Amino acid sequence: KAGVTQTPRYLIKTRGQQVTLSCSPISGHRSVSWYQQTPGQGLQFLFEYFSETQRNKGNFPGRFSGRQFSNSRSEMNVSTLELGDSALYLCASSLRDRAYEQYFGPGTRLTVT
């Protein structure tokens, strides 16, 4: 089975721009979660989608949004980028929900200049 894939792997954006990151979960997995990882804050939960519905959201501003498609693929969007948004963004898929183990993608390294 193919693992979780994330595209692009690296991005450099300018402050004020917006960015869209993509995640393809493991086949058969219906739950997709997004995390932001930074050296200072560690792994912080952004949101989780299950069957195209956002089930839970972390404490991030509204500039961070996401969606899930009928094939379980997910995208997250960050608008009006700030320098502090520079981070590794990780996507994780799970069979059903977060009582199950999550399988992580390699992440997208976003640098905001």
Partner 1 sequence: AQKVTQAQTEISVVEKEDVTLDCVYETRDTTYYLFWYKQPPSGELVFLIRRNSFDEQNEISGRYSWNFQKSTSSFNFTITASQVVDSAVYFCALSEGLDSGTYKYIFGTGTRLKVLA
Q: Which residues contribute to the site for partner 1 (CB under 8 A)?
A: 33, 35, 42-43, 45, 48, 55-56, 88, 90, 92, 97-107
45, amino acid identity = F
Minimum CB distance to partner 1, residue 20 (Å): 21
Strands (E), the chain: 5-7, 10-13, 19-24, 31-38, 42-50, 53-57, 64-68, 74-78, 87-94, 103-104, 108-112
**Nearest residue (CB) to partner 1, 57 versus 79:** 57
**Nearest residue (CB) to partner 1, 2 versus 14:** 2
**Nearest residue (CB) to partner 1, 44 versus 79:** 44
